[in-house]
Amino acid sequence: MSITWVFLLLAIGLFLLLAEVFIPSHGLLTVGALGTLGASVYFAFGHGPALGFTVIIVAVILLPLEIVLGVKLFPNTPIGKLMMLKRRDKTTDDDRVGAQELDQYVGKTGVTRTMCRPAGIAEIEGKRVDVVAEGMIIDAERPVTALRTDGNRLVVREKA
């Protein structure tokens, strides 16, 4: 087998490993990559130990480099954008309610922003508040009434 095939197999193996980062294949691409990398090393040693060790060194240097590069680039790909959470630009103190401020919300109504089973988040008077459902699970986007404070959480009940 010619030296061209050795480097072609090496390139295919590296490409398949990079593809595994971007395409969830449950390890099939990794198995294919390891097979082609192994074949590349095998055929390289068939041409002599110098070429064999050169291919091993190239693979050892490029594998971690391409994996790190793939992980850095993944969130910017279309699939990565679907899988990753969106970043908030900045969280301010205006977005949060401290435990000492919870008493002012007792008796007021709001809307759950997450499912409360029993803990969750509700929006009351435009502020996001950690809440605990009294008794049952409350679905997201349901109206609730604040009953009392319990430590650093507000106990709520779904409005009937």
Q: Is residue 88 part of a domain?
A: no
Indicate whether 128 and 74 sit together in one domain.
no
The CATH number covering residue 110 comes to 2.40.50.140
pLDDT number for residue 98? 65
pLDDT number for residue 37? 93
Mind listing the pLDDT tens digit for each residue in 121-152?
999 988 888 899 988 899 999 999 999 988 77
Mind listing the pLDDT tens digit for each residue in 84-97?
777 665 555 555 56
**Residue-level length of the chain:** 160
pLDDT number for residue 99? 65
CB contact burial 132-159 (16+ within 10 A = b; e otherwise): bbbeeebeeebebbbeebeeebbbbebe
Residues of the chain with pLDDT under 50: none
Indicate whether 104 and 132 sit together in one domain.
yes
